[in-house]
Structures are given as structure tokens and as C-alpha cells.
């Protein structure tokens, strides 16, 4: 019984890992590019704001 639960947990973990790997192989969509742009611009904009504020 305990062995069945262990096997089931291991299978669920493998399915989760495969699903995560498949997500990484999907092409980027507009939302991904927007988030990348926002993250890329966040630090320089924060530095400009801090420089202006000081």
C-alpha cells in the first residue's frame, strides 16, 4: 500500500516535470514579450526615478 502511494507520487512528479518542460518549448506569445519588455525596462526606469527624486 505504501509502495503504491510512493509510485503514484513519483508518477505525478514526472508528469509535472514533463508538463513544465513542454511549456518551455512553446513559442513566445505577445504576453511573454510584453513581460520581457517590462522587466527589461523596470531597472533603468527605477534608476531614473531614484536619480530624479534625490
**Spans of all domains in the chain:** 2-53
Band the pLDDT of 2: cuts 50, 70, 90. low
- Determine the pLDDT at residue 34: 93
How many helices and strands, by DSSP H and E, does the chain display?
A: 2, 0
| Cut 0.85: pTM above it | no
More confident residue, 38 or 20: 38
Phi (first) and psi of residue 26, to 5 degrees = -70, 145
- Determine the pLDDT at residue 4: 78
3-state secondary structure of 1: coil
Cell of 49: 526615478
- pLDDT tens column, 31-42: 889 999 998 999
Phi-psi region of 29 (alpha: psi -120 to 50; beta: other; left: phi over 0): beta
Amino acid at each position: 500500500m505504501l509502495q503504491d502511494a510512493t509510485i503514484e507520487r513519483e508518477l505525478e512528479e514526472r508528469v509535472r516535470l514533463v508538463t513544465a518542460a513542454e511549456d518551455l518549448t512553446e513559442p513566445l506569445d505577445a504576453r511573454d514579450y510584453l513581460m520581457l519588455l517590462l522587466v527589461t525596462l523596470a531597472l533603468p526606469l527605477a534608476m531614473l526615478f531614484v536619480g530624479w527624486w534625490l
